[in-house]
């Protein structure tokens, strides 16, 4: 992934030289992937060194900073549908693609892998809450009398406040009242898998700052090339947001979760995948709604039926996987199969 850093300056050069928007878009995508990875590694390392309280706050702030930055750039460009699509894509991507890939790769090495069922089902319930927060605005939209759709924005604001408060309480649950369920396995083997062995606090801080600034810059170029790229490739902005943009933002979680599964650390792997999905739904999405108000372009939480269906289906199959506290490679295949089916649906939508 480190070799992708050569793509970081390409979209800037391509933009000023007037190259094709396709080059700008895909080079920005490839450039963001390693930056998101380094951002995630620096955040994890600093969180481990800062202790439970400050570390959790840092993780809550920068854990999905890449998705937040891309979302803010898209909001600023007026691409609210891309923002909402990327939210959906990040949620189902973490549940189906990241977790599915982790279970499959880990299962090919170990016949049976176990994890803390209580912690996993708690995360599943939080994701079920996020599914409810998508279903309610959709029902509200189709049952609302004509001319009253301004209330959709008010409902989005109310739901965002509730989700944010619930997310804060979930942090209190995992860090205070039931922290024994979420013991962090900070050891040499885990640090080697994450790739932060030998990193100092100063180095992590500098890397976090530089990567954040770089992602902000590349996100601007990526977002402004979205419409031209969708037209050139004959695909919808919905597919770009749900699949392409979401995979870019989740690249760090993909690699780390899979590496943890390969070392038979399924609790860590599941916490990475489901924790990231919960954070997208209950922290990043509300923050984007609040930001849309500040920008003067209020965003509602009304998603298309296929987007709502995708999250509901993902949450349902997740419940079956986490129910017994153990997994095997076939369950990983099943999660990936659902992701592929939903990807096809978004492609032809």
Higher pLDDT, 345 or 181: 345
Better pLDDT: 55 or 11: 11
Q: What is the DSSP letter of 132?
A: H
Q: Which residues of 109-137 are buried (b: 16+ CB within 10 A; e: fewer)?
A: ebeebebbeebbbbbbebbbbbbebbeeb
Q: What is the pLDDT of residues 92-125, one digit of tens each?
A: 999 999 999 999 999 998 988 998 888 788 888 8
What local confidence, expressed as pLDDT, does residue 279 receive? 87
Rounded to whole angstroms, the Cα distance separating 215 from 226 reads 16
Distances (CA, A) of 77 to 72, 116, 269: 9, 42, 35
Identify the pLDDT of residue 191. Answer: 54
Choice between 84 and 61, residue whose per-residue pLDDT is larger: 84
Q: How much of the chain, in percent, has pLDDT values that exceed 90?
A: 33
The tokens describing 226, both together, are: 């979205």
Q: What is the spatial distance between Cα 223 and Cα 71, in angstroms, rounded to a whole number?
A: 9
Closest-CA residue to 270 (of 262, 260, 280, 283): 260
pTM of the prediction? 0.86
How many structural domains are present in the chain?
1
| 160: pLDDT strictly greater than 90 | yes
pLDDT band at 24; cut points 50, 70, 90: very high
Confidence of residue 343 (pLDDT cuts 50, 70, 90): very high
Distance of CA 184 to the CA centre of its chain: 21
- What value does the mean pLDDT take over residues 12-27? 91
- CA–CA distance, 238 with 261 (Å, rounded to integer): 31
> What's the pLDDT at 188?
53
Confidence tier at 14 by pLDDT (50, 70, 90): very high
What was the pLDDT predicted at 1? 63
The residue among 94, 69, 32 whose CA lies nearest residue 242 is 94
Q: What are the distances in angstroms from CA 92 to CA 229, 257, 345?
A: 23, 15, 13
Q: If you average pLDDT over each of 9-13, 112-116, 278-282, which comes out highest? A: 9-13
Residue-range definition of the domain harbouring residue 33 = 2-348
């Amino acid at each position: 992934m480190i070799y992708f850093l050569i793509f970081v300056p390409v979209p800037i050069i391509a933009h000023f030289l007037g190259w094709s928007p396709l080059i700008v878009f895909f080079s920005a995508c490839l450039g963001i992937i390693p930056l998101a990875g380094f951002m995630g590694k620096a955040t994890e390392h600093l969180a481990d060194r800062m202790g439970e309280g400050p570390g959790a706050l840092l993780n809550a702030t920068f854990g999905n900073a890449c998705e937040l930055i891309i979302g803010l750039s898209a909001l600023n460009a007026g691409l609210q549908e891309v923002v909402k699509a990327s939210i959906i894509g990040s949620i189902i991507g973490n549940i189906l693609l990241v977790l599915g890939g982790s279970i499959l790769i880990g299962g090919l090495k170990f016949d049976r892998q176990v994890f803390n069922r209580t912690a996993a089902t708690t995360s599943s319930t939080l994701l079920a809450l996020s599914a409810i927060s998508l279903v309610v605005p959709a029902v509200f939209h189709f049952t609302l009398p004509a001319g009253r759709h301004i209330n959709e924005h008010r409902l989005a604001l109310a739901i965002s406040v509730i989700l944010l408060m619930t997310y804060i309480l979930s942090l209190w649950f995992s860090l205070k009242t039931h922290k024994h369920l979420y013991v962090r396995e900070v050891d040499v083997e885990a640090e080697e898998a994450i790739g932060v062995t030998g990193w100092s606090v100063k180095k992590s801080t500098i890397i976090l700052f530089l990567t954040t600034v770089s992602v902000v810059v590349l996100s601007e170029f990526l977002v402004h090339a979205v419409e031209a790229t969708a037209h050139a490739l004959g695909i919808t902005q919905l597919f770009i947001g749900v699949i392409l943009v979401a995979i870019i933002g989740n690249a760090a979680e993909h690699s780390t979760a899979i590496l943890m599964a390969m070392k038979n650390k399924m609790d860590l792997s599941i916490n990475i995948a489901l924790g990231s999905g919960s954070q997208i739904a209950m922290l990043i999405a509300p923050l984007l709604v609040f930001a849309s108000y500040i920008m003067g372009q209020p965003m509602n939480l009304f998603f298309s039926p296929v987007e709502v269906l995708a999250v509901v289906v993902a949450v349902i199959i997740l419940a079956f996987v986490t129910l017994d506290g153990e997994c095997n490679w076939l369950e990983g295949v099943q999660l990936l199969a659902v992701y592929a089916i939903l990807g096809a649906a978004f492609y032809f939508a």
